[in-house]
Amino acid sequence: MKEAGNFDGKNKLKKKFHQRKGFYLLSGLIMGIIIFAALYQTSVYFSTNESCMICHVHPHAEETWKLSVHVNNKSGVMTNCVDCHLPPIENTWDHYKAKIALGLKDVWGYLTKDSADFDWESKSELEYAIKYIPNESCEKCHQNLFPEDVTDDAITAHLYYEENAKKLDLQCISCHLDAGHYNPNYIHGKMTGIPGISDDKGVVDTSLFYKEATEVAVFADYIEQIPGTAVSFKMIAIPGGTFNM
């Protein structure tokens, strides 16, 4: 009889354990959903333009944004603050890392500094603005750099950008500083001379021109160079092909 009683007791303990285990799992699942929903809603709220303006109290930030081509355009499409100032949300880790870092920085500045002391003009300069406009944010929307009716100057500049963006750390905002915040005094310049080998006046340093073409002795990747120019490009050897030199 004692063995039967012990057996029943063990079954009851197991039953209680499984009941509690199920309760804890269900409670954890519900709590996880609540926390995730709260974090998501918080992220959505702090991605609105209105939430950005809470800390960015300087009126010209909002005014120049509304006058820019990112808002005031024929298509009616509006580009929001986070679309330019944060990496694309598809790059989840980079997006939220930058969002948290910039958010904490802005909140700290809002709480501890006097906005009357800020030098707003200097923050509109390229040297400062370039740190807060990642290229991938521009490229998320501007996927075609050669649209219909594009000018010859733009084609030249964009071809150079595509070839050298990573190599020379080129930034879209270097040419398009007023795209997000309108500046009536900004003059959209154009490329002069040959990028990388000409001075500010467009005078070309011909000493940087290649004197002869690359000598190729083996079947391997190499950098071709055009004599009399500063043009070079990578040639890739494809196994299985035939060629004559």
> Within this chain, do residues 168 and 242 fall inside the same structural domain, yes or no?
no
Q: What is the pLDDT of residues 72-114, one digit of tens each?
A: 999 999 999 999 999 998 988 999 999 999 999 988 988 898 8
pTM of the predicted model over 0.85:
no
| 120 within a domain of the structure (yes/no) | yes
Task: Identify the pLDDT of residue 228.
Answer: 75
State yes or no: pLDDT of 49 exceeds 90: yes
Rg (CA), the chain: 30
Same-domain pairing of 126 and 242: no
Residues 29 and 83 in one domain: no
Higher pLDDT, 214 or 71: 71
127 and 175 housed in the same domain: yes
The reply to whether 98 and 211 lie within a common domain is: no
Q: Is residue 78 part of a domain?
A: yes
55 part of a folded domain: no
Q: What is the mean pLDDT of residues 120-139?
A: 89
Domain annotation covers residue 230: yes
Q: What is the pLDDT of residue 141?
A: 94
Of residues 24 and 204, more confidently modeled? 24
Q: What is the mean pLDDT of the chain?
A: 83
Whether 183 and 111 share a structural domain? yes
- Separation CA 30–CA 36 (nearest Å): 10
Q: pLDDT value at position 18?
A: 64
- Domain contains 227: yes
Residues 143 and 94 in one domain: yes
Domain of 141?
A: 61-191
DSSP one-letter code for 199: -
Domains in the chain: how many in total?
A: 3
Query: Which pLDDT does position 150 carry in this prediction?
Result: 86
**231: in domain:** yes
CA 92/CA 85 separation, integer angstroms: 14
